[in-house]
């Protein structure tokens, strides 16, 4: 395979500045929403003392999970020795950093008391999975930065594979920790499951690759850089495998719960009687996030179909996390098994939740921050190959 040449994007066109302006407006909207919630209190949101993780957490978890999964493209090149993916590794590492930045920004600004983050950073309870994740998130930045250094610095290229292997292991642990935040909540029937850790890992592969595909296609098209069918075919097949794997793990998760007698009620809630959560599960998660992408990926080979499939995966992923995170809180806790519970404190009653505009604005602002950081980094440093044409990648694809 010929040596890949990288270069910065020019970033002087009116379209580039319009893109930054639009993303900047969304970021300001997110900051304004955070200030509004901080100034007035979280009662202005749809959250309550029963739904304490709302729409911002859906966006934050999605971005954090996708940040881990998007690095999979670089891992395939360095860890598994697939030369075709090597020209894509720098962009993969960049998106891992920017997506995590967007997710953590949403998470911090949704705390209600963001200044108390200093307490969490200086006082650790190592029995808490939240404390573990502080080390995992900050360590992820250091590991990926080191990995990118081995790619950029020619004299460090020989260390790219061990650095990539270390980053590969670290991100698996990171995603396991993120899934375990829910999986270790034994008081919630919808969360308490060891299957959530592997489910989050395969979700990260799917969500991250979908974002990578859209960013790569947009960047190459807007900068006039050749993008051949060889690369897109590999990414198409890989995305199809990940989407199918997510559906498989979701099916196993629910079938496992259906096998356990005490989980029948929670499964009836999600699959049949959950209202908006049931609709989002079947229409958003299964149809839009699973079946439609598979149809786009395997029934047609057009680039528009690939982009549509990636967009569907992202929308379906948000629906999946909404059902899991918010639906899992909405279902009442089982205080007294086999007893009917009723009181003035809404025990035994499904909690209501409607996302407010500030919550959505904060989540969208985090996405915009990640994309804005990506656009600026592409202008400053050579993350993007000058060409991904088929002729230059033919030897690696053979």
pLDDT reported for residue 396: 47
Q: Does residue 196 form part of some domain?
A: yes
Which two tokens mark 104?
Answer: 């953590």
CATH number at residue 169: 1.20.1630.10
Distance CA 29, CA 23 (A): 10
Structural domains of the chain, count: 1
Give the residue ranges of DSSP H helices in 54-195: 55-70, 72-78, 89-109, 117-122, 129-152, 160-183
Q: Does residue 337 form part of some domain?
A: no
pLDDT reported for residue 62: 97
pLDDT reported for residue 43: 87
Q: At what angle do helices 89-109 and 129-152 cross, to 10 degrees?
A: 150
Contact in structure between 365 and 85 (CB atoms under 8 Å) = no
Q: Does residue 48 form part of some domain?
A: yes
Q: Does residue 290 form part of some domain?
A: no
Q: Does residue 13 form part of some domain?
A: yes
Distance CA 228, CA 387 (A): 9
Give the residue numbers spanning the domain of 99: 6-245+356-397
Name the percent of the chain lying above pLDDT 70: 93
pLDDT reported for residue 344: 64
Q: Does residue 108 form part of some domain?
A: yes
pLDDT reported for residue 397: 45
The enclosing H or E element of 299 equals: helix 292-299
Low-confidence ranges of the chain (pLDDT < 70): 1-2, 112, 114, 187, 335-338, 341-348, 392-398
Distance CA 19, CA 14 (A): 9
pLDDT reported for residue 42: 86
Q: Does residue 283 form part of some domain?
A: no
* pLDDT per position as a tens digit, 273-332: 989 999 999 999 999 999 999 999 999 889 999 999 999 999 999 999 999 999 999 988
* pLDDT per position as a tens digit, 136-179: 999 999 999 999 999 998 888 889 999 999 999 999 999 998 88
pLDDT reported for residue 277: 95
Q: Does residue 284 form part of some domain?
A: no
């Amino acid at each position: 395979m010929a040596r890949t040449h990288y270069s910065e994007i020019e970033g002087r066109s009116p379209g580039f500045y319009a893109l930054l302006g639009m993303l900047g407006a969304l970021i300001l909207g997110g900051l304004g929403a955070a200030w509004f919630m901080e100034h007035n209190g979280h009662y202005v949101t749809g959250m309550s003392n029963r739904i304490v993780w709302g729409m911002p957490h859906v966006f934050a978890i999605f971005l954090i999970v996708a940040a881990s999964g998007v690095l999979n493209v670089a891992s395939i090149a360095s860890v598994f020795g697939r030369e075709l993916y090597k020209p894509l590794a720098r962009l993969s590492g960049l998106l891992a950093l920017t997506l995590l930045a967007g997710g953590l920004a949403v998470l911090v600004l949704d705390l209600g008391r963001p200044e108390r983050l200093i307490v969490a950073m200086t006082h650790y309870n190592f029995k808490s999975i939240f404390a573990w994740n502080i080390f995992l998130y900050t360590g992820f930045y250091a590991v990926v930065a080191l990995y990118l250094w081995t790619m950029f610095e020619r004299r460090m290229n020989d260390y790219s594979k061990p650095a990539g292997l270390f980053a590969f292991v670290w991100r698996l642990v990171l995603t396991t920790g993120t899934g375990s935040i829910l999986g270790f909540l034994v008081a919630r029937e919808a969360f308490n499951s060891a299957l959530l850790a592997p489910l989050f890992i395969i979700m990260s592969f799917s969500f991250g690759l979908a974002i990578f595909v859209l960013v790569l296609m947009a960047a190459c098209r807007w900068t006039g850089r050749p993008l051949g069918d060889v690369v897109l075919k590999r990414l198409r097949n890989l995305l199809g495998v990940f989407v199918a794997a997510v559906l498989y793990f979701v099916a196993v998760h629910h079938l496992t719960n259906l096998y356990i007698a005490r989980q029948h009620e929670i499964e009836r809630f999600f699959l049949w009687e959950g209202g908006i959560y049931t609709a989002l599960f079947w229409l958003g998660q299964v149809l839009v996030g699973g079946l439609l992408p598979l149809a786009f990926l395997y029934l047609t080979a057009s680039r528009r179909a690939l982009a549509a499939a990636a967009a569907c995966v992202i929308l379906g992923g948000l629906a999946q996390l909404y059902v899991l995170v918010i639906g899992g809180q909405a279902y009442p806790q089982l205080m007294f098994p086999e007893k009917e519970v009723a009181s003035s404190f809404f025990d035994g009653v499904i909690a209501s939740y409607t996302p407010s505009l500030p919550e959505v604005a904060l989540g969208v602002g985090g996405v915009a921050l990640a994309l804005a950081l990506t656009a600026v980094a592409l202008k400053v440093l050579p993350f993007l190959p000058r060409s991904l044409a088929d002729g230059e990648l033919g030897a690696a694809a053979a």
